[in-house]
Chains A and B, each alone.
Chain A
Amino acid sequence: MMGLHRNEMVVAAFGLAAVALLSLLPLVSEGFALSLGVNLMLYAAMCTAWALFSGPTRLVSLASAAFFGVGTYSVALGLDSLPFGALLLVAALSSAALAGLVGAATLRLSGVYFVIFSLGLAELIRQIVAWSQSRFAHKMGLYVFTDLTERDLYWMLLALTSLVFVVGWLINRSRLGFALRIIGDDETVARHVGIATARTKIILFMISGAFIGIAGAISAPRYAYIEPQAAFNPMISFQVVIIALLGGTRRLWGPLVGVVPFIILMEFITSRFPNHSSVVVGVAFLAIVYLLPDGVTGLLERLRDRILRRAEPGVSSTTRNEIGEKAA
């Protein structure tokens, strides 16, 4: 928690090397592999951002689609008047504002209300957007034409994912991160040691929502034609939750572990059995909840602990053997 430890330096070096390596992908491949890469990066960013909030607080947010959609529409509506970079900022700010409103309304209540409300939120906004489009603009969607290539989008999403990691790491080291861990353990104790629990949760929900909004904004050029049904698709929310839980939310890099297998599986399913993808999502969700309650990373940590415990007596017996050999 204090100062830069050697472990952290090693992790940072690995992270930088990974980012450098991943940034080479668009140079060596195009088409399918790059498109898959964009999908992977998109969900890496969103799931890590989701876990920033839902990991420590253990409050399952189903509002990802709402933030994603707000980000997408920020680009679609502002493309003619503002540069793309500014639109990313607009997406971040409007998603954060939305998260702040929803948080202020629901995070003071108990967790169940929050989950239900977050699910309803995306649907509510989708209906409002659809209604106002048909009422005032007399059309269903908006065109997004940019000269951004799949390559550019990949690099932007890679940068976003890296940014989410850096911010997540900074939060973990800060008072805010410590406060969140305490809240996740025992909210009553948190209040009694002087933590403004509701405000802390709202701030983090806003940070998390802003990142998902940016992810939505970067995705907008991929759609070319944006409709509420696609931008506010509830499947986005469910996939984000499932991937993050599959990877595990106890570590910052946990969701990342879930992204690769799940996106590749989904890619396979949607190409082979296009009509059954929601069934697969449902089955995957059940399987994760029952078989991997702490995700893959939780399982790995438990295995590591078990091996370490088994190794300890083993270590002492080998040293004894060595001593015995030397004596002989």
Chain B
Amino acid sequence: MSATLISVSQARKAFGGLIAVNDVSFEVREGELIGLIGPNGSGKTTMLNLISGALGPTSGEIKLAGCRISGLPTEMVARAGIARTFQLVRVLPSMTAIENVMAGAVFARNRLWGPRAHDFARELLGRVGLMGRENSPVSAMTYIDQKRVELARALAADPQLLLLDEWLAGLNPSELLIGINLVRDINREGRTIIMVEHVMDAIRTLCGRCVVMNSGVKIADGAAAAVLADPDVIRAYLGDDDA
């Protein structure tokens, strides 16, 4: 069994009286692809924000490869090797596709610059299916293409851990298939991934393991098929009657 890459222990985030993440603990091993699921408002995105350093935890600790990253500024967490995409896609609107991807390569772990950053970014654009679109302004791109650019930007940082926040949401069935294959390929190269997702087909196909949250609490953690059949999980999604 491979080493633990990220360990979340007793992480808690309170916004005033609202406890969005309530003493959640879990671990992700190197090379794993886990799904972080749960009904709307269950604290998944807040959990992701704690890991990526966008938010600091109220209490608890998050470690990446044994080093504490909770409480560090966002940019230090990024440099430590965590990259992410956003629930509502965030591209850099004044720039071209390739500049967007280069943004990921220049300041993070691998700190590429000049022609090397350019070539690497072009390679990644090809990887996500945007070959030949390097100089398109991202503001003129479709939603799926912007999501691709965002994924390429995250990969450009050569992250130890990739966080995908509903990256597959809003895709049509054929795009979804392409997206699922892409995420699977990235994981097979050895990239550790945590994905927040609502698309259950994708969860079933991709994730070996799932962590389920409800109202800020972790309610299940285990193999995807077993977790999705768990009565507590079904109750959380569908209410008491269907459990």
* 4 A-B pairs with least C-beta separation: A194-B107, A191-B74, A185-B92, A194-B78
Interface centre among A175, A178, A192 (most CB of B within 10 A): A192
Contacts of A179 in B (CB 8 A): 106-107
Taking the nearest CB of chain B, how far is it from the CB of A301, in angstroms? Answer: 13
Selected interface stretch from B37-45, B63-71, B113-121, B216-224:
B113-121
Is A35 in the interface zone, CB < 8 Å from B? no
Contacts of B74 in A (CB 8 A): 191-192
Is A102 in the interface zone, CB < 8 Å from B? no
Q: With A188-B54, A195-B75 in contact, is A182–B114 under 8 Å at CB?
A: no
Complex Cα distance A185/B96, Å?
A: 12
Taking the nearest CB of chain B, how far is it from the CB of A164, in angstroms? Answer: 23
Contacts of A267 in B (CB 8 A): none
Complex Cα distance A3/B86, Å?
A: 34
Is A181 in the interface zone, CB < 8 Å from B? yes
Complex Cα distance A220/B205, Å?
A: 73
Contacts of B109 in A (CB 8 A): 194
Is B108 in the interface zone, CB < 8 Å from A? yes
Contact with A along B41-69 (1 / 0, CB 8 A): 00000000000101000000000000000
Is A105 in the interface zone, CB < 8 Å from B? no
Is B128 in the interface zone, CB < 8 Å from A? no
Q: Which residue of chain A lies nearest to B113 when distances are taken between CB atoms in the complex?
A: A175
Is B90 in the interface zone, CB < 8 Å from A? yes
Is B190 in the interface zone, CB < 8 Å from A? no
Q: Which of B75, B113, B114, B157 contacts A191 (CB 8 A)?
A: B75
Contact with B along A182-199 (1 / 0, CB 8 A): 101110110111111100
Is A2 in the interface zone, CB < 8 Å from B? yes
Size bracket, chain B contacts: 20 to 34
Contact of B115 with A182 in the complex, beta carbons under 8 Å: no
Contacts of A3 in B (CB 8 A): 115
Contact with B along A285-304 (1 / 0, CB 8 A): 00000000000000000000
Is B84 in the interface zone, CB < 8 Å from A? yes
Contact with A along B143-171 (1 / 0, CB 8 A): 00000000001000100000000000000
Contact with A along B67-108 (1 / 0, CB 8 A): 000000111001100011010001011110000001110111
Contacts of A189 in B (CB 8 A): 90, 92, 103
**Residue contacts A-B, CB under 8 angstroms, 29 given:** A2-B115, A175-B107, A175-B113, A178-B102, A178-B103, A179-B107, A181-B95, A182-B92, A182-B103, A184-B94, A185-B94, A186-B90, A186-B93, A189-B90, A191-B73, A191-B75, A192-B54, A192-B78, A192-B83, A192-B84, A193-B78, A193-B83, A193-B103, A193-B107, A193-B153, A194-B79, A194-B109, A195-B107, A197-B75
Contacts of B90 in A (CB 8 A): 186, 188-189
Size bracket, chain A contacts: 20 to 34
Contact of A193 with B157 in the complex, beta carbons under 8 Å: yes
Taking the nearest CB of chain A, how far is it from the CB of B166, in angstroms? Answer: 16
19 other A-B residue contacts (CB within 8 Å) besides A185-B94, A193-B108: A2-B114, A2-B115, A175-B106, A175-B107, A175-B113, A178-B103, A181-B92, A184-B94, A185-B92, A189-B90, A191-B75, A192-B54, A192-B83, A193-B78, A193-B83, A193-B103, A193-B106, A193-B157, A194-B109
Contacts of A193 in B (CB 8 A): 78, 83, 103-104, 106-108, 153, 157
Complex Cα distance A86/B32, Å?
A: 61
Taking the nearest CB of chain B, how far is it from the CB of A252, in angstroms? Answer: 16
Contacts of B83 in A (CB 8 A): 192-193
Taking the nearest CB of chain A, how far is it from the CB of B140, in angstroms? Answer: 13
Contacts of B94 in A (CB 8 A): 181, 184-185
Q: Which residue of chain A lies nearest to B116 when distances are taken between CB atoms in the complex?
A: A2
Contacts of B92 in A (CB 8 A): 181-182, 185-186, 189
Taking the nearest CB of chain A, how far is it from the CB of B220, in angstroms? Answer: 29
Taking the nearest CB of chain B, how far is it from the CB of A8, in angstroms? Answer: 15
Contacts of A196 in B (CB 8 A): 73, 75
Taking the nearest CB of chain B, how far is it from the CB of A138, in angstroms? Answer: 49
Taking the nearest CB of chain A, how far is it from the CB of B57, in angstroms? Answer: 17
Taking the nearest CB of chain A, how far is it from the CB of B81, in angstroms? Answer: 10
Contacts of A2 in B (CB 8 A): 114-115, 118
Complex Cα distance A179/B94, Å?
A: 13
Interface centre among B75, B94, B108 (most CB of A within 10 A): B75
